[in-house]
Structure 1
Amino acid sequence: MPESRPDQLRQILETVRTIALVGASEKPHRDSHSVMAYLQGRGYRVIPVNPRLAGSQLLGETVYPNLTSIPDAIDMADLFLASHRVGPVVDDAIRKGAKVVWMQIGVIDEAAALRAEEAGRQVVMDRCPKQEIPRLGVPLARAV
């Protein structure tokens, strides 16, 4: 898997608007919760995905059990999952039409990344948008 280049990361973060955050947590001390809140504060719409919390509200958004149950289009799937659980979720992201599959720090699945790339998706692995946005100087997201 080629290393994500700063210009590629910046382009992704400047063009996506709707992010499905898979593995969202209702617990404020969890990274997925703080990343969701941060991304919302930066102007992105973040849709939480967690089968255990499905139907509840998290940071003002309805939680869905999986990517394919989200009624709206998504630009990016941000995955907070153990690497061994990523494959089927990446396949769902492809089916859902996400343009980007972003795997969080420590989340690596080369085979799933290859499937996503072969399906025309951009893939980022082992990175966090909450760290990349300030590092790259990405401006606030603008509503479409």
Structure 2
Amino acid sequence: MPLTSDEDIRDLLADARTIAMVGASDRPDRPSFRVMRFLQGHGYRVIPVNPQITGEHLGGEFVFRDLHQLGDPIDIVDIFRRSDAVGEVVDEAIAVGAKAVWMQLGVVDHAAAARAEAAGLKVVMDRCPAIDIPRLGVARIAA
């Protein structure tokens, strides 16, 4: 069952250091662009993942094609994709050993969430960390 309690979500956000953002955009008018900047401004390392802009730099980070290319441990995979594309991203998150998957506002896939949970990942669905961080008073200090 996806995390829904404020305490569980606060703990996940407070403990996280590295977030892989699948669907990160280089366009300032896109929500993923703004959320990436917000998260970076709150001390998270956000690694952008987008096959359309692979090899570019976004927010000071190299843009990767997929999660398999990342060599660093991932605390949260933040998914900025349509609900029908979530299953593949979740399977990739499981394969690379991510600790959690976070489906953005409007993004829901119960079957993918169940697979992630069965593999031991925490799941947040239909929420935005840029809303929850200030709402929950999450204070992070960059490592």
Q: Is the structural similarity TM-score above 0.5? A: yes
> Is 2:73 the partner of 1:73?
yes
> Is 2:112 the partner of 1:127?
no
Structure 1 runs (4+) greater than 6 angstroms displaced? none
The two structures have a TM-score, normalised by structure 2, of: 0.97
Structure 2, unaligned stretches of length 5 or more?
A: none
Structure 1, unaligned stretches of length 5 or more?
A: none
1:120 match: secondary structure? coil
Q: Displacement, 1:3?
A: 5.6
Letter in 2 for 1:132: D
- Provide the rounded CA distance (Å) in 1 between the counterparts of 2:26 and 2:76: 21
Letter in 2 for 1:8: D
After superposition, the C-alpha distances for 1:101-143 in whole angstroms (9 at most, x for unaligned) are 0000000000000000000100000000000000000002331
1:115 match: secondary structure? helix
**Alpha carbons 1:17, 1:141 under 8 Å: kept:** no
- Provide the rounded CA distance (Å) in 2 between the counterparts of 1:68 and 1:45: 17
The two structures have a TM-score, normalised by structure 1, of: 0.97
2:77 match: secondary structure? strand
1:139 match: secondary structure? coil
Letter in 1 for 2:138: V
**Alpha carbons 2:2, 2:124 under 8 Å: kept:** no
- Provide the rounded CA distance (Å) in 2 between the counterparts of 1:35 and 1:2: 21
RMSD (Å), alpha carbons? 0.9
